[in-house]
């Protein structure tokens, strides 16, 4: 069983913003695996699905990005999932829009959602699917950039990266890290 968690913020005002790339990607995975029933448990919206004989728990923490670690840890405990079967999907400023990167382990690079997960789990060793959103233009504050919705061409790049991120997460489940990195990085 794999726990696939998309990071984001709950509420309509945050829907489809750059910071909610994880939520959008988990929604794309849910559509792919036919997971249609969402329920609230352990501080997250969850849905269950199956991909090529692998059971999946899809999750969107509802505690806001900066405190995502609590719901992630609760879900791991509730389902008996170890960190090596955890996939976190999140936005990444240091990756160009429209691209993704997959890795295992690493730091939080100032990402408060990842920091919260590191703190709650006591480890940095889990799979990550990083959805590139790029840096804000000019002197725009980072917070304004990540909490805005991409427009025009940027919206196409965002949608493309979300779709690729969903494919990469499912590849991690079925093919493992090395083959997924060769195909997507």
Condensed to tens digits (0 to 9), the pLDDT of residues 125-167 reads 999 999 999 999 999 999 999 999 999 889 999 999 999 999 9
pTM: 0.96
Residue 81: φ, ψ to 5°: -100, 130
Q: What pLDDT does 174 receive?
A: 96
Q: What is the pLDDT of residue 153?
A: 85
Of 16, 19, 85, 90, which residue is the catalytic one?
A: 19
Domains by residue range for the chain, with CATH: 2-184 (3.40.50.1470)
Pairing of strands 44-51, 39-41: antiparallel
State residue 110's pLDDT score.
Answer: 76
19 is catalytic: yes
Number of other residues whose CB lies within 10 A of the CB of residue 39: 9
Three-state helix/strand/coil letters over 75-120: HHHHHCCCHHHEEEEEEECCCCCCCEEEEECCCCCCCHHHHHHHHH
57's enclosing H/E stretch is strand 54-61
- What pLDDT, on a 0 to 100 scale, did the predictor assign at position 54? 96
The structure tokens listed for 9 are: 């913020």
Q: Judge contact between 89 and 7, C-beta under 8 A.
A: yes
User: Which of the residues in the chain have pLDDT under 50?
Assistant: none
């Amino acid at each position: 069983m794999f726990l696939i968690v998309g990071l984001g913020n709950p509420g309509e005002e945050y829907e489809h913003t750059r910071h909610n790339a994880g939520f959008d990607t988990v929604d794309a995975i849910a559509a792919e695996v036919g997971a249609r029933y969402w329920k609230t448990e352990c501080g997250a919206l969850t849905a269950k699905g199956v991909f090529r004989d692998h059971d999946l728990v899809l999750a969107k923490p509802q505690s806001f990005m900066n405190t995502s670690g609590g719901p992630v840890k609760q879900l791991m405990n509730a389902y008996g999932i170890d960190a090596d079967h955890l996939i976190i999907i999140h936005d990444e400023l240091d990756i160009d829009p429209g691209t993704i990167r997959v890795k295992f382990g690493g730091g939080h690079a100032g990402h408060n959602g990842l920091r919260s997960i590191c703190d709650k789990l006591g480890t940095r060793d889990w799979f990550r699917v990083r959805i590139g959103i790029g840096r804000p233009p000019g002197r725009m504050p980072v917070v304004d950039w990540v909490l805005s919705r991409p427009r025009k061409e940027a919206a196409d790049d965002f949608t493309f990266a979300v779709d690729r991120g969903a494919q990469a997460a499912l590849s991690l489940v079925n093919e493992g890290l090395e083959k997924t990195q060769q195909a997507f990085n």
